[in-house]
Amino acid sequence: MDKTIIEPQRTVRVKRETDVLVVGGGPAGIMAACAAARKGLKVLLIESRGYLGGNLTIGLPILGFLGRKGNQVIKGLPQKFIDRLRARGAACEHKPCRLHVSLTIIDPEAVKTVALEMLEAAGVDILMYVFCADVIKEGDAVKGVIIESKEGREAILAKTVIDCTGDGDVAFRAGVECRKGDADGGMQPPTLMFSMKGVDVQALRDAIVNHSDEYDMDVMPPEQFRDGKFITVGFRNRILKARAAGYSIPVARTILITGIADDEIWVNMTRVNGTDSTVPDSYTAGEIQALKQIPDISRYLKDFIPGFGNAWIDRVAPFMGIRESRVIVGKYVLTAEDILSCRHFDDAVGVASYPVDIHHSTGDDCTMHWCEDCYDLPFRMLVPEKVCNLLVAGRCSSMTHEAMASARVMSTCMALGEAAGRAAGISVLDNVPVSETDVRKLRRELLSTGAYLRSGNE
């Protein structure tokens, strides 16, 4: 048994009292806090890092704003966020893609400023550099959280809490049933992103368009690379050649994402199987291993991929991105069957279309399955089974391992965050527990504020 000590009981200062508390300032949390804000309500967003954005800041494109039929399925506040980025030249158009359905390239630095601007405009109170370490509960009801910071341990009391931590930290502490990974606990591996500059992107584009036999792409036709921003997923034969020549490459596919700058490419190719972000020893070991993978990957790109001859490493993302960890078991658990059958739900609070995209927990590859059109996101996937006054939005919402491989993308997390925030705002004003939010009212508010729901307009 582990050696233990008993911590002395202590009195904890109540730092803030608020109506709605959002924990975690990533794509889901930013939207949740903005959506909850309304006249007469106090909304507080807390974040452990010194900036907002979560995975929006690590060099990823936002996937899935468009559906398989080309129509836009994520609108509302997420689109307003993109509009603000675009106004400062920090986001491109939503570009259709055969493999990713759609991609929206964003500037990871501008995200931080735009998130602050949006939250300030909505009147949200922001507190950074505090880590949510525990919850305050009365019976089954969450009454607030315990935070840890340079000031020590303090309490924040709230009528409703929204867990947008990605890892479901609040829900886990509150005793909500949580699951991790597939039947064997295998989770999608994380990646430490990095960017290269000085890339001749036109040479890369030309190689794919004119020599597709040599420069293979998964599913995507070469014409897709003729214009505009793009993501490569392929060059499998180049990786085999590089490995035969002694390069250590942890993935089967070369994933490269054009940046906002013309000579910039973000590289999504490190991979550390078996990492668990809820166990610091594991996350630390994974982060160190990923950092050590970068030199060989960049050498591979320079030696085997057209356009990289004069490129250099420009930035390494501020942290290794986590694809999968805890998800809650909620009132409804979204499944791959729901996604692939384009299922409708009466309590739909969002719509998504991204494929079931599983980076295998072992080995070096990935499997993808697409739905024909798009699927609904039910309100019940935000609501924990037993604990009340708590919603869980983002990649830790209630879904199976396979379903989260689709709904984890940032457009969907933003839509789930918006729905959770609006539900919290409505329920506090109606003086009912958030799990009992009037869903018809929620859907009406979502529609009237610009969100997309397939069977709305009631």
Interface with ligand FAD by CB under 6 A: which residues? 23-29, 46-49, 54-55, 60-63, 131-132, 164-167, 169, 190-191, 268, 321-323, 394-395, 408-411, 413
Identify which of 178, 183, 150 has the alpha carbon closest to the alpha carbon of residue 165. Answer: 178
Identify which of 348, 359, 452, 358 has the alpha carbon closest to the alpha carbon of residue 403. Answer: 358
Which CB, 54 or 378, lies closer to ligand FAD? 54
Residue 46 is which amino acid?
A: I
Between CA 153 and CA 131 the distance in angstroms is 10
Supply 91's token pair: 């986001």
Q: How far is the CB of 432 from ligand FAD (least distance, A)?
A: 26
Which CB, 277 or 389, lies closer to ligand FAD? 277
Q: How far is the CB of 442 from ligand FAD (least distance, A)?
A: 20
Identify which of 273, 274, 272, 232 has the alpha carbon closest to the alpha carbon of residue 253. Answer: 232
Q: How far is the CB of 416 from ligand FAD (least distance, A)?
A: 8
Give the list of residues 6+ apart from residue 377 with CB closer than 8 angstroms, or none: 334, 345, 348, 349, 350, 351, 352, 407, 412, 415, 416, 419
Which CB, 61 or 307, lies closer to ligand FAD? 61
**Other C-beta atoms within 10 Å of 181: how many?**
17
Q: How far is the CB of 32 from ligand FAD (least distance, A)?
A: 9
Q: 26-42 burial, b for 16+ CB within 10 Å, e for fewer? A: bbbbbbbbbbbbbeebb
Residue 354 is which amino acid?
A: Y
Q: How far is the CB of 148 from ligand FAD (least distance, A)?
A: 9
Which CB, 62 or 201, lies closer to ligand FAD? 62
Which CB, 186 or 456, lies closer to ligand FAD? 186
φ/ψ of 352, rounded to 5, equals: -140, 165
Beta strands in 84-130 (DSSP E): 95-97, 101-104, 125-128
**CB-side neighbour CA atoms (13 Å) of 261:** 15
Q: How far is the CB of 309 from ligand FAD (least distance, A)?
A: 26
Between CA 383 and CA 405 the distance in angstroms is 20
Let me know: does 376 contact 348? Beta carbons within 8 Å. yes
Identify which of 43, 39, 82 has the alpha carbon closest to the alpha carbon of residue 424. Answer: 43
Which CB, 131 or 247, lies closer to ligand FAD? 131
Between CA 211 and CA 229 the distance in angstroms is 19
**Other C-beta atoms within 10 Å of 278: how many?**
15
Q: How far is the CB of 245 from ligand FAD (least distance, A)?
A: 26
Q: How far is the CB of 239 from ligand FAD (least distance, A)?
A: 18
Which CB, 21 or 426, lies closer to ligand FAD? 21
Which CB, 83 or 430, lies closer to ligand FAD? 83
Which CB, 190 or 378, lies closer to ligand FAD? 190
Between CA 391 and CA 377 the distance in angstroms is 14
Q: How far is the CB of 56 from ligand FAD (least distance, A)?
A: 7
Q: How far is the CB of 6 from ligand FAD (least distance, A)?
A: 24
Let me know: does 81 contact 118? Beta carbons within 8 Å. yes
Which CB, 14 or 429, lies closer to ligand FAD? 14
Which CB, 206 or 364, lies closer to ligand FAD? 364
Which CB, 200 or 282, lies closer to ligand FAD? 282
Between CA 45 and CA 65 the distance in angstroms is 25
Q: How far is the CB of 166 from ligand FAD (least distance, A)?
A: 3
Residue 118 is which amino acid?
A: M
Q: How far is the CB of 361 from ligand FAD (least distance, A)?
A: 14
Between CA 355 and CA 406 the distance in angstroms is 5
